[in-house]
Amino acid sequence: QNAWKLADHPKLPKGKTIAMVVLDGWGEAKPDQYNCIHVAHTPTMDSFKTTAPEKWRLIKAHGTAVGLPSEDDMGNSEVGHNALGAGRIFAQGAKLVDLALASGKIYDGEGFKYIKECFDNGILHLIGLLSDGGVHSRLDQLQLLLKGAVENGAKRIRVHILTDGRDVLDGSSIGFVETLEKDLSDLREKGIDAQIASGGGRMYVTMDRYENDWDVVKRGWDAQVLGEAPYKFRNAVEAVKKLREEPKANDQYLPPFVIVDESGNPVGTIKDGDAVVTFNFRADRMIMLAKALEYEDFDKFDRVRVPKIHYAGMLQYDGELKLPSHYLVSPPEIDRTSGEYLVHNGIRTFACSETVKFGHVTFFWNGNRSGYFNQEMEEYVEIPSDIGITFNVQPKMKAIEIAEKARDAILSGKFDQVRVNLPNGDMVGHTGDIEATVMACKVADDAVKMIIDAIEQVGGIFVITADHGNAEDMVKRDKSGKPLLDKNGSLQILTSHTLQPVPIAIGGPGLAPGARFRNDVPTGGLANVAATVMNLHGFEAPSDYEPTLIEVVNN
């Protein structure tokens, strides 16, 4: 108990209601026509920067500042919210898998040994996102895993691919499939029976999250396990090329397909005695499939046939559920998060977003842990997301509903911290629809206004920040920043996140006079926010947390 006790902050009082707002996918970039935040009418967010510059700054949200392998890695919501909530920088899944593959330790672990037990009589199935995005998975890791599996005795391998277009350019999937096909054909030359067995676009097949739409996982199950899909092809390159010819087709939403042999039979259904590895390291969009593969009791859809397999995740995706129970690499141990500390120190917490981002401000915020720390002190509210649409047709999403919930929670006086994620900039930004993203940014700004108005009424404090960039840049650029054109002369639309820093603003009537950003943490990043928020609640942060961003000057 005592280990959780935080010291009182020498200068900042307790008892202020704090709104902690995360604008998803809201970075800072040069103003131009492809910066949707700049183009959009965003008076509230603009005002922080212009009216109180000592209470506004930029913080790093990508690369090593959030535990990713290199400075070329764009930020993402998993590592972003982990850093925001945990207050320290942990080497993240991407990095841990790199290390385990490089040292070969991955093959000595319990998870791989468990998988290997099937190599003599069964097939090894690898399921995951096929790109070099580095957000959920990486192609080079899949390549190393294939090589290592073969060296360790795998003789029959089937890969079930999910095309990306969201963490990488739309249209890039063909190249990734060609690369994988080449690797598999090299393996075949060495006598290994290795093929792609099924596929589909990540947002339509398999990679749903937070139980938003189980049909997505079912479509994957049908193709991967049962060998059933609306499209059948003899090889995957042909499949992706053909399916992309449909008007409006894009990598994120390709329909499911299976690869069949000359007699039309699927080449790689998942059967009793097979091994399955889901090779994504990131949890959110693999948990649902992991449940379908692992749980005996399962009622989310009719699995028809439940093969007896040895299943391992690249990582364990949920430390609380211990899911999956077998995994190749141990996940980062994100302990002692700010949420857990604050609950132990009497801070009553409310967290809310809509389904597609709900786990970001709960599960990721709390160090990849599902559920409450203390149900009496916390309330987490999920607003159901619209399903079956791409958010460019509904750029408002549930931002106003989220803001209303936050407002009510603030005005209720029942909570000390009210934390929300506003998804619009990110979710609409990922569609690549510039006009809709401009609308999305405006709505997010409106939602921020509602929340700070409520904070105004209760004399509270607001902290407004973001988890990574997205909407502030919608085109791929050359080194000098000029938009790049493809070979047909059209703009290359950037659906992915960016390397940009994000803003953070503090304010509100409850903010102590003299509280402002200090100048001596110029390289501050998302991990510095937790100590900052603890201070604003009237506490000192634990000594191993990244330093606070604020100081209190007497004036």
Q: Which residues contact ligand 3PG by CB under 6 A?
A: 24-25, 76-78, 135-136, 166-167, 285, 426, 430
285 is in an annotated binding site: yes
* Alpha-carbon gap, residue 124 to 116, rounded angstroms: 9
CB of residue 162 vs ligand 3PG: minimum separation in angstroms? 11
Beta bridge partners of 382: 353
Find the residue with minimal CB distance to ligand 3PG.
77
Closest to 350 (Cα-Cα) out of 337, 365, 336: 365
Question: Is 326 annotated as a binding-site member?
Answer: no
CA atoms in the 13 A half-sphere facing the CB of 555: 8
Dump the DSSP string for 448-509: HHHHHHHHHHHT-EEEEEESS--TT--B-B-TTSPBPB-TTS-B-B--S--S--EEEEEEST
Selection from ligand 3PG, Co ion, none that 524 binds (CB < 5 to 8 A by kind) is none
Helices (H) and strands (E) in the chain, counts: 16, 17
Closer CB to ligand 3PG, residue 166 or residue 396? Answer: 166
The one-letter amino acid at 450? M
Q: Minimum CB separation from Co ion for residue 357, in Å? A: 9
- The verdict on whether residue 408 carries a ligand-binding annotation is no
Residues 190-249 that bind Co ion (CB under 5 A): none
Residues in the interface with Co ion (CB under 5 A) total 1
| The entry of ligand 3PG, Co ion, none that residue 274 binds, CB within 5 to 8 Å by partner kind | none
**Least distance (Å) between residue 502 CB and ligand 3PG:** 12
Task: Tell me: is residue 138 an annotated ligand-binding position.
Answer: no
φ/ψ of 354, rounded to 5, equals -90, 165
Instruction: Establish whether 193 is an annotated binding residue.
Output: no
CB closer to Co ion out of 307 and 501 = 501
Minimum gap (Å) between residue 61 Cβ and Co ion: 12
Closest CA to 504 of 16, 27, 89: 27
Q: How is 85-149 classified by DSSP, letter by letter?
A: HHSS----HHHHHHHHHHHSGGGTSHHHHHHHTTTTTS-EEEEEEESS-SSS--HHHHHHHHHHH
How far from chain centre, in Å, is Cα 251? 18
Q: Look at the alpha carbons of 294, 298, 303, 305 in this order and tell me if their dihedral is positive or negative.
A: positive
Nearer to ligand 3PG, 197 or 402 (CB): 402
Is 209 annotated as ligand-binding?
A: yes
What letter does residue 526 receive in the DSSP assignment? Answer: G
- In whole angstroms, the minimum distance from the beta carbon of 393 to ligand 3PG comes to 17
The two structure tokens encoding residue 132: 């070099």
Q: Is 202 annotated as a binding residue?
A: yes
Q: State how far the Cα of 29 lies from the Cα of 502, in Å rounded to an integer.
A: 9
In whole angstroms, the minimum distance from the beta carbon of 208 to ligand 3PG comes to: 10
**38 annotated to a ligand binding site:** no
Which of 170, 274 has the CB closer to ligand 3PG?
170
Residue 165 or 510: the one with the smaller Cβ distance to ligand 3PG is 165
Segment contacting Co ion by CB under 5 A, of 82-90, 140-148, 419-427, 510-518: 419-427
- Residues 527 and 521: their CA atoms lie apart, in Å, by 12
Q: Which does 166 bind (CB under 5 to 8 A by kind): ligand 3PG, Co ion, none?
A: ligand 3PG
CB 284 within 8 A of CB 254: no
CA distances 530 to 20, 129, 366, 534, Å, are 10, 31, 12, 6
Choice between 426 and 446, CB closer to ligand 3PG: 426
Q: 269 or 355, CB closer to ligand 3PG?
A: 355
Task: Based on the shown chain and the rule CB under 5 A, indicate whether residue 426 belongs to the binding site for Co ion.
Answer: yes
- Read off the DSSP letter of residue 178: H
- Say if strands 378-383 and 349-354 run parallel, antiparallel, or are unpaired: parallel
427 in Cβ contact with 483 (< 8 Å):
no
Asked if residue 136 belongs to a known ligand binding site, the reply is: yes
CB-nearer residue toward ligand 3PG: 78 or 294: 78
With CB under 5 to 8 Å by kind, the binding choice for 285 among ligand 3PG, Co ion, none is ligand 3PG
Residue 77 annotated as catalytic: yes
Q: Select which of 47, 77, 198, 325 is catalytic.
A: 77
Nearest distance from residue 68's CB to ligand 3PG, in Å? 12
Nearest to 240 by CA among 125, 139, 131, 140: 131
Residue partners of 248: CB distance under 8 A and separation at least 6: none
Min dist. Cβ of residue 57 to ligand 3PG (A): 22
User: Is 57 known to sit in a ligand binding site?
Assistant: no
Which does residue 345 touch among Co ion, ligand 3PG, none (CB within 5 to 8 A, set by kind)? none
Q: Which residues sit in the known binding site?
A: 24, 77, 136, 166-167, 202, 209, 282-285, 357, 426, 430, 467-468, 497
Q: Which residues sit in the known binding site for Mn(2+)?
A: 24, 77, 426, 430, 467-468, 497
Q: Which residues sit in the known binding site for substrate?
A: 136, 166-167, 202, 209, 282-285, 357
Q: Indicate which residues carry an active-site annotation.
A: 77
- Contact positions vs Co ion (CB under 5 A): 426
